Structure 1
């Protein structure tokens, strides 16, 4: 008797399963974005290929993890917290690298990149502890994670990164500002998901679906980040 291989098996999804739906759409959207970024690389000068490559890697890594997370949700009906944080620990530092790459011509040093990467790792590790390991102290771990997030936001809005962007030219300043808005507004969706999925004084947000919040935020932020970089590369290429 012929059987369908596991990797081709498709679980039944309820019509009101918005978590499963957003996992599937997020996976397909980020995979499509990866193909777009990778295939467009050769249309740019060497200077911008690394930035486009990083954009493609961000969405590709996320798409692979979303494939596993979709299957995990379909099988167990539980939030795939572990897979989600593995995804973030790889993709969020890469998003920080994008700031360094676009500001490198303006004199950005690697110390700026490593500071942002370090802060992002602190933000994610403490977030994972609060959400999956030590939920009884979710407020404390969430506070530490939030401090690291605001330190990143300060760096790009008012710190050395902003000063470099001001001297880099109009197109880079515009792209930098767009990425800053993604961090300030787009990344704010992650604390909401954290609050919706942890106990304590966060209980007032339990009416929200943590996974839907995360899935929508991931797709918007990661694809949006890449499109900002792509648009900047197009502009600089035309110049």
Structure 2
């Protein structure tokens, strides 16, 4: 980010202008490639599912979310709008799988919780 903007202090005020140096979005996507699967796995771990189901769901959702992020990056760096939409559509496939799996899984896990907790979800 430091090179993407120029900040100058002029006459008691800061002036910010774009430097023309683009920010490398790859750093953001590498972060997401690591954190999104880990957050989903953490969510699955607190659902108190049987060990086999936890391992299977963690693997499926971890891989699906990593594929989702990986498919999003080529679209991020494209100049051609049609190509960007193509990569967006591809990334939505694993996204919908993750959302569907969570909605189905959360419904079952919520039903197992005490009434005082299930009302919060």
Q: TM-score w.r.t. structure 1 length?
A: 0.39
Structure 1 residue ranges (4+ consecutive) displaced by more than 6 angstroms after TM superposition: none
Q: Indicate whether 1:165 and 2:110 are aligned.
A: yes
Structure whose residues are more often strand by fraction: 2
Q: Is the 8 A contact 1:106 1:168 kept in 2?
A: no
> Any idea what SS the aligned residue of 1:79 has?
coil
Q: Is the 8 A contact 1:106 1:167 kept in 2?
A: no
> Could you list the runs of 5+ residues in structure 2 that have no partner in the other structure?
9-13
Match of 2:60 in 1: 115
CA distance in 1, matches of 2:97, 2:113: 22
- Report the Cα offset of residue 124 of structure 1: 0.4
CA distance in 2, matches of 1:130, 1:152: 20
Relative to 1, partners in 2 of residues 1:113 and 1:170: Cα closer, same or farther, differing over 3 Å?
A: farther
Larger Rg: 2
Indicate which of 28, 49, 55 corresponds to 1:84. Answer: 28
Indicate which of 101, 126, 131 corresponds to 2:76. Answer: 131
RMSD: 3.0
CA distance in 2, matches of 1:84, 1:102: 27
Q: Indicate whether 1:156 and 2:99 are aligned.
A: no
- Report the Cα offset of residue 135 of structure 1: 4.6
Indicate which of 10, 13, 25 corresponds to 2:7. Answer: 13
Indicate which of 147, 160, 182 corresponds to 2:93. Answer: 147
CA distance in 2, matches of 1:170, 1:78: 51
Q: TM-score w.r.t. structure 2 length?
A: 0.70
Q: Indicate whether 1:102 and 2:46 are aligned.
A: yes
Q: For CA contacts below 8 A with separation 6 or more, give which structure has more relative contact order.
A: 1
CA distance in 1, matches of 2:57, 2:116: 21
Structure whose residues are more often helix by fraction: 1
Q: Is the 8 A contact 1:93 1:121 kept in 2?
A: yes
Q: Is the 8 A contact 2:6 2:19 kept in 1?
A: no
